Amino acid sequence: VFLIDDAGMPGENITIYEKGRDMGGCCGVIGTEGAYVCPGERELEPYMECLWYLCSKIPALDSPGRSVLDETVDANRGSAIHTECRLIQDRGHIWESVHDYRMDAATSAKLQAFLTEPEEKLENMTIEEYFGKDSPFFDSAMWWCFHPMLAFKPYHSALEAKRYLARFGLANRIDYLEGILHTKRNEYDSIIKPTMVWLQERGVKFQYGCAVYDLDMDEPCNTVQGIRAKLDGQDVCIPVAAEDYVFVTNGSLMANARYGDNTHVAETDRDTEDMGLFNIWRNLAKRNEKFGHPEKFLGKIDQTKWMSYFVTVKDYPEFFERLERMTGSQSGTGGIITVKDSGWEISLMLYDRDYFPKQRENNEDVLWGDGLFGERPGDYIKKPMAECTGNEILLEILYHFNMLDIKDEVLAHAHISTCMMPYITSQFMPRTGKDRPRVVPEGCTNLAFMGQFVEIPGDVVFTIETSVRTPLQAVYQLTGLQKEVIEVYPAEYDMRYFLERMKKFAGIEGPITEADLPKVNPLKIGEMKKELLHKLNSIPPYYIMYQGKDRSVATKKSVLNPEFPKVD
């Protein structure tokens, strides 16, 4: 889209090579009457600027005369997400302490230090190494709101967690899930499908069944000369001219995903030879350091995998009606619910009856969920989630929501698809700032990387925004387009977020009073001044859009050199 609409490239000049038989990746869905397969869930928010820029270009399929962005705005105005059942425990009881973000003084100070820690001090460090394995931080309401929503675990990257907290300003109403947005339907029907229609209308070619695994490059690894792939199982080499552009997704969260259903377990694929898009990255990284270190993210499947499930209930509305009464939220407006005392740490989200185009007329209700610790035994089904069928997972859900009295009816009307994803949180593994390649690695003339394994300073991974920002930047850089990339929203420097965060963690409601101010030790004023100066000077300059072609105008005191004499 950006090549065509921003850079002016004819659509017929573009070919997309795809291993599967459809587009969408983790946003892909498979829908047949009475049974849907939907492995992933997206949490969208207002400051995904590149995503909304893309959506503003694409006409919606369901809303004539409206863009995908228009349609999404309408959908959220009509049914905004707000939950008062963020977490449950004790078989269906709402955990009311979810709104109390107060921590003891030491833990609070540690968190505040974390938010301003230089990234180089967090490289190769886990979250629990920073806070301490037994820290009260991991029992706080803030952690329980943050980590199941985003799939962070204590052994994941402290650097990436810090970026999340900075990028989204700690999401001040995250305990209500306010500010999380949704599309009119699932993201495939609302974003992927209309984008594909737009591309096809402009002559873009789609080559399915083509698994790219390596690139032929010149000796310094600057220019791509060929694309190595298997097309329907046969080895092919696609020639690349120096003036061509090659955009590569160098890793997939869905690599080696395997599926199950009501009666079949989704296996865990531990193959380390055929790893889909990771093969390209691994082969390039062996040849040049500038392509990063994929091994930092791969090879620890038991720390990067978890299972999702998708439940379709046909002709039995009682199940969803009871869930709505328990949570107080209508389907589609309540966001994700986590079972706090679940061995699997299971979560689920109820969608409305417009999530799929024909769902309402087919009298179908659907929900998505996951289990972040599927290697642990369940509480009703006494074995790991990773070894369970869809029926067993649904029974575990019914147990935690205190609905085993209708288990026979629910099972009789439910189709459950399961998906085991070995690399779904591989992008969160501890790393340095150089372990992922830049969008256009140093010296590269016709190669750019896209996706969740690319380094964008200040931005996070595991978002659909990253999947849009990286190709936007790639197009602008490779084509030399004289257009600014939209900045990553600097929420951590927005005083409004800072103030709300301070009040939330202090348990302050209403205006701040003198009694709320901390006591100051006069003997530490000198030390406090140094800390304050450090924090003030670490704030980057405000975003300047027009700096001239050499990007230096805003840094110079004088650029015009007028001849008129100056007066002292």
How many C-beta atoms surround the C-beta of residue 245 within 10 A? 19
Confidence label for 194 from pLDDT (cuts 50, 70 and 90): very high
**CA distance linking residue 250 with residue 246, whole number of Å:** 12
% of the chain exceeding 90 in pLDDT: 81
- When pLDDT is averaged across residues 367-391 and rounded to a whole number, the result is 97
- When pLDDT is averaged across residues 396-403 and rounded to a whole number, the result is 98
- When pLDDT is averaged across residues 92-109 and rounded to a whole number, the result is 94
Q: What pLDDT is recorded for position 491?
A: 86
Contact criterion met (CB below 8 Å) for 353 and 359: yes
18: pLDDT strictly greater than 70: yes
Q: What pLDDT is recorded for position 552?
A: 78
Q: What pLDDT is recorded for position 21?
A: 87
Tens of pLDDT, residues 298-349: 999 999 999 999 999 999 999 999 999 999 999 999 999 999 999 999 999 9
Q: Which of 41, 43, 375, 392 is catalytic?
A: 43
- Residue 451 burial by Cβ neighbours in a 10 Å radius (0-12, 13-18, 19+): buried
Confidence label for 519 from pLDDT (cuts 50, 70 and 90): confident
Q: What pLDDT is recorded for position 35?
A: 82
- When pLDDT is averaged across residues 215-233 and rounded to a whole number, the result is 96
**CA distance linking residue 172 with residue 382, whole number of Å:** 37
Contact criterion met (CB below 8 Å) for 139 and 110: no
**CA distance linking residue 13 with residue 25, whole number of Å:** 23
178: pLDDT strictly greater than 70: yes
Q: What pLDDT is recorded for position 8?
A: 98
Residue 164 annotated among the catalytic residues of the structure: yes
Q: Residue type at 395?
A: L
Q: What pLDDT is recorded for position 447?
A: 98
536: pLDDT strictly greater than 90: no
The residue among 56 and 508 whose pLDDT is bigger is: 56
412: pLDDT strictly greater than 90: yes
Residues in the chain: 568
Q: Which of 36, 101, 130, 164 is catalytic?
A: 164
Tens of pLDDT, residues 474-507: 999 999 998 989 999 888 888 888 888 888 888 8
- When pLDDT is averaged across residues 221-228 and rounded to a whole number, the result is 98
Whole-model pTM: value is 0.94
% of the chain exceeding 70 in pLDDT: 98
Contact criterion met (CB below 8 Å) for 88 and 400: yes
What value does the mean pLDDT of the chain take?
93
How many C-beta atoms surround the C-beta of residue 445 within 10 A? 13
**CA distance linking residue 60 with residue 477, whole number of Å:** 29
Among 217-221, 247-251, 435-439, 492-496, the minimum mean pLDDT is found in 492-496
The residue among 141 and 172 whose pLDDT is bigger is: 141
- When pLDDT is averaged across residues 441-459 and rounded to a whole number, the result is 97
- When pLDDT is averaged across residues 233-257 and rounded to a whole number, the result is 96
539: pLDDT strictly greater than 80: yes
DSSP class of residue 12 equals G
Q: What pLDDT is recorded for position 220?
A: 97
Placement of tokens 């947005």 in the chain: 181
**CA distance linking residue 416 with residue 266, whole number of Å:** 11
Among 6-10, 11-15, 87-91, 513-517, the minimum mean pLDDT is found in 513-517
Q: What pLDDT is recorded for position 169?
A: 66
568: pLDDT strictly greater than 70: no
Which value, to the nearest 10 degrees, does the dihedral of the CA atoms of residues 228, 230, 235, 238 take?
-40
Q: What pLDDT is recorded for position 170?
A: 60
Residue 213 annotated among the catalytic residues of the structure: no
Contact criterion met (CB below 8 Å) for 172 and 501: yes
Question: Exposure string (b/e) for 102-120, b if CB count within 10 Å is 16 or more?
Answer: ebeeebbebbeebeeeebe
- When pLDDT is averaged across residues 38-44 and rounded to a whole number, the result is 90
The residue among 254 and 173 whose pLDDT is bigger is: 254
Confidence label for 171 from pLDDT (cuts 50, 70 and 90): low
33: pLDDT strictly greater than 70: no
